[in-house]
Amino acid sequence: MRKNSNLLFLVVFLLLVVAFQKLNAPAPDKEPGVIPYSEFLTKLEIGAVVSAELEGDIMRGNLRDGSSFKTRVPPNDAFLADRLERRNVRFSVNAPPEPSLLGQLFLALLPFAILVVLWVVLIRWMAKSGGPLGRMQNFVGSKAKLLTWDQRRVTFADVAGIDEAKEEVREIVEYLRDPRKFQALGAKIPKGVLLIGPTGTGKTLLARAVAGEANVPFLTISGSDFVEMFVGVGASRVREMFEQAKKNAPCIVFIDEIDAVGRHRGAGLGGGNDEREQTLNQILVEMDGFDTHEAVIIVAATNRPDILDPALLRPGRFDRQVTVPLPDVVGREKILAVHVRGKPIAPDVDLKVIARGTVHFSGADLANLVNEALLFAARRNKKMAARSDFEDAKDKVMMGTARRSLVVSDEDKKITAYHEAGHAIVGLRVPGNEPVHKVTIIPRGRALGMTLALPERDRFNYTKDQLNAQLAMMFGGRKAEEIIFGKSSCTTGAASDIEKATELARRMVTEWGFSSLGPIRFSASEREIFLGRAITERQQMSEQTMRRIDDAVEKIVKRAQETAEETLLKHREELDRLAEALLQYETLTGSDEIERAMRGETIVRTENEWVNESIVPASGPPKKAPEGEPSGVQPENDPDAHG
């Protein structure tokens, strides 16, 4: 493409040069060997001219001294022939050669051809540079990208933690490799496969792995690439994309974030004339327009299957749904093994321990965790990433970067230490909570302190007692402040704890039936709220029922506060010891360190353990917190901050 553009520029340049030379050609009387017309008349009068030949406005001839001449005759000289006859000069007149019709046509069209060539070159240049003319040229064209099997090939070996999903799509690989085996038995492979799962779980990676295993082209596009402001553009792109897929069959067409165009019809503004709905209609028509013998598989991905149009999910279209969930602890360990493959990892790194401490992490989160650990190791001039680097990377991903430049006063640091110690004591002493893994008063993100748990296994269901234990742990920080400093001296550090506890208690009442009201669901579903149905429909609860719900929530919250207060009063000495240890060491990692700190024992660490930036000893001048900064706020993006 670049060579063709350069050749085109060269041709245009040569044409312009020729035209410029043609327009600026010198006059005949200024050319070498041409005499002025006045000099010719003088020679004619003295009889020096012997013969002459006139062709157009150019006269050539011979002189008596044997030399020749050439001059340009004015077009209005009517007495030239008489002068030549009087001087007995032999002369002849030759008609100038008339240009051919093709030549005349070429000379007439040459300026327009130059303008057209310049316009085409300008448009192509604008298309490469992303200008408005380029966007107009490619406005209705398909934005799908075609990747062949040898371009960044991905196989099932690169996909870990979703073994069930890989098994469900494995037969598609076999079909693309040998379609005749299935066609001989009359079996029909689904036209469309819908990958459902949270963001970052590997839906796109799985689709590329299917294409890589089958060695077929991979046509990828995002759902938002279909829809434009003008009506009809999305439908045109859909038609062009399916035509491109049929030409490259067998192949896989992957539509990422299909909910951007496949949302439930009638839920938005514009009705049936909405551009998004017209694009969806064209997708439905195109999926009905080809059969499985064309060996084109449509794979789509979404994390919102509840808002997709039912016509998109019916048999014959996306009739197979493959769930790509968040990985469990075994899956996370396998994903970590894939990402550390070929990386310099120290022997003290235990992927199983890292997998246990990364609950609710997706594959993308784990990839980011490994990368952050390698960055920590590089900044510390290490040749391998050690356990401390992974620990710091996990803290940074879950809680944010340590804010060591933040100036915190001794008073605020003491409040934060007792606040986090209260969380840890309740988490350790109330049955039903996960083991506490780390307590720190180092500011990270928006929080001045953190208390993290390390689940022994993944939980998919929670009992009522476990939820009540979590609620008690959430209020452990506030109750510790009330016990030590008094109710009138409590800080705003428990704002996030109160918000999360109230939300959890309300869900226990309205969704899970953990109250005296019984197992009745009182809240509208996310699907109804998203589609706007819950707004327009009549409210399903009376004021009395809403009041009973509020009373039940208040009862659960008060019971959790009482449990937290009783536990802290019972273990008051452990609370003081743990807070003093936090003031001295700032971070306590592992159940052994926390238990030893609660017993008042001295914590001895090796030099390598002090390298971890999360557990450096407290030092330096007193620091002051900025005005209005809450202490001990738990991170909102950490689902395990309270066990």
Instruction: Report how far residue 145's alpha carbon sits from residue 208's, in angstroms, rounded to the nearest whole number.
Output: 13
Q: pLDDT value at position 474? A: 94
Q: Got the DSSP string for 171-198?
A: HHHHHHH-HHHHHHTT----SEEEEE--
- How sure is the predictor about 95, in pLDDT bands with cuts at 50, 70 and 90? low
Name which of 18-32, 72-86, 177-191 the model is least confident about: 18-32
Overall average pLDDT of the 94-121 stretch = 70
- How sure is the predictor about 212, in pLDDT bands with cuts at 50, 70 and 90? confident
pLDDT above 90 as % of the chain = 18
- Pick 419 or 602 by higher pLDDT: 419
Q: pLDDT value at position 57? A: 76
Element (H, E) at 368: helix 363-379
Name which of 18-27, 249-258, 302-311 the model is least confident about: 18-27
Element (H, E) at 300: strand 296-302
Instruction: Report how far residue 412's alpha carbon sits from residue 224's, in angstroms, rounded to the nearest whole number.
Output: 48
Q: Are strands 49-55 and 58-63 parallel, antiparallel or unpaired?
A: antiparallel
Q: What is the pLDDT of residues 140-174, one digit of tens each?
A: 445 455 555 455 677 888 888 888 888 888 878 88
The answer to whether residue 261 scores a pLDDT higher than 50 is: yes
Q: pLDDT value at position 409? A: 82
Overall average pLDDT of the 55-60 stretch = 79
Name which of 17-26, 39-48, 411-420, 567-576 the model is least confident about: 17-26
Sheet containing 90-94: order of strands = 68-72, 58-63, 49-55, 90-94
Instruction: Report how far residue 241's alpha carbon sits from residue 221's, in angstroms, rounded to the nearest whole number.
Output: 9
Cis status of the peptide bond prior to 250, with omega within 30 of 0: yes
Residue 552, both tokens: 């039940």
Average per-residue pLDDT for the chain: 76
Question: 0.75 exceeded by the pTM?
Answer: no
Write the single-letter amino acid at 588: L
Q: pLDDT value at position 233? A: 64
Q: What is the pLDDT of residues 276-302, one digit of tens each?
A: 777 777 778 777 766 555 677 888 888
- How sure is the predictor about 336, in pLDDT bands with cuts at 50, 70 and 90? very high
Overall average pLDDT of the 250-263 stretch = 82
Overall average pLDDT of the 383-400 stretch = 86
Q: Got the DSSP string for 377-423?
A: HHHTT-SSB-HHHHHHHHHHHHH--B-TTS---HHHHHHHHHHHHHH
The answer to whether residue 109 scores a pLDDT higher than 60 is: yes
The answer to whether residue 452 scores a pLDDT higher than 90 is: no
- Pick 376 or 633 by higher pLDDT: 376
Rama region for 460: left / alpha / beta (φ>0; ψ in -120 to 50; rest): alpha
The answer to whether residue 403 scores a pLDDT higher than 50 is: yes
Q: pLDDT value at position 127? A: 56
Q: pLDDT value at position 100? A: 64
Residues contacting 511, CB < 8 A, separation 6+: 521, 522, 523
Q: Cα angle vertex 403, ends 402, 405, to 5°?
A: 140
Catalytic residue numbers read 420
Q: What is the pLDDT of residues 25-57, one digit of tens each?
A: 544 445 556 788 788 888 888 888 888 887 777
Specify the DSSP class assigned to residue 360: T
Q: What is the pLDDT of residues 481-537, one digit of tens each?
A: 999 999 888 888 888 899 999 999 999 998 888 888 877 776 644 444 444 444 444
Q: pLDDT value at position 136? A: 44
Specify the 3-state DSSP secondary structure of 213: helix
